[in-house]
A = this chain, B = another copy of it.
Amino acid sequence: MTDRVRVLLADDEHLIRGALAALLALEDDLTVVAEAASGPEALAMAAAHRPDVAVLDLQMPGLDGLEVAAELRHRLPDCRVMIVTGHGRPGYLKRALEVGVRGFLPKTVSASDLAGIIRTVRAGGRYVDPELAAEAISAGDSPLTPRETDVLELAADGSSIAEIADRASLSQGTVRNYLSSAAGKLGAENRHAAVRIAREHGWL
């Protein structure tokens, strides 16, 4: 605790990242040792600067925050990871916790809160935004099997059954069965509504 907390900031929005860096610099026990604008860059900066805490935006080009978090967990097990998200769907929270993320918060928190949470996480604590946690709990687990999720994901851009079958290397009948099953489980009228519902719950 005598040392300053070494922080890595990763966010593709320069404006936010710069502003955040400036704000955190005002805290005299925090130091922003590196910034990154993309997932791969975040990994590279982390390897080079070995921060104590990595603050990652969920949406980034290249690798998203969760993928970076998963990588960091293996490459730098001592580095605590926090995810900051703009308008986060709750499903990500569960996945984040599974890859060892110790802080998960929306961008609606204040800067002083952020600084406090960084200290908490650095000290080995965890922090999850209460509202996001509540949503995640009420959303629950996905009722879909892995394969159903795969196929539904391929359906997400409005493709026809034929295209989905092609991309998944499945027969059209099988694709229709999976989609029908998924739509049934989600209470949707068709696969497109099912995609929307799954997205809203963060299951996609």
In the assembled complex, the Cα of A159 lies from the Cα of B193 at a distance in Å of 7
Q: Which residues of B contact A12 (CB under 8 A)?
A: 108
Whether A158 contacts B18 in the complex (CB less than 8 A), given A13-B86, A108-B13, comes out as no
Asked if A22 is at the interface (CB within 8 A of a chain B CB), the reply is: yes
Q: Of the candidates B22, B86, B158, B193, which one forms a contact with A86 in the assembled complex, judged by CB atoms under 8 Å apart?
A: B86
Chain B's nearest CB lies how many Å from the CB of A41?
14
Residue A107 is within 8 A (CB to CB) of chain B in the complex? yes
**Given A22-B22, A23-B22 in contact, is the A15-B84 Cβ separation under 8 Å?**
yes
Q: When the two chains form their complex, are residues A108 and B14 in contact, meaning their CB atoms are under 8 A apart?
A: yes
Report if A109 contacts B (CB, 8 A).
yes
**Partner-B contacts on A (CB < 8 A):** 12-16, 18-20, 22-23, 26, 37, 59, 84, 86-87, 106-111, 114, 157-160, 188-190, 192-196
Query: What is the bound-complex CA distance between A5 and B87, given in angstroms?
Result: 31
**Contact partners of A188 in chain B: CB under 8 A:** 158
How far is B23's CA from A26's CA once the two chains are assembled, in angstroms?
A: 12
Residues of B within 8 A of A37 (CB): 108
Contact check, B110 vs A190: say whether CB atoms are below 8 A apart.
no
Please judge, given known A-B contacts A22-B22, A22-B23, A192-B192, whether A111 and B157 are in contact too, CB under 8 Å.
Answer: no
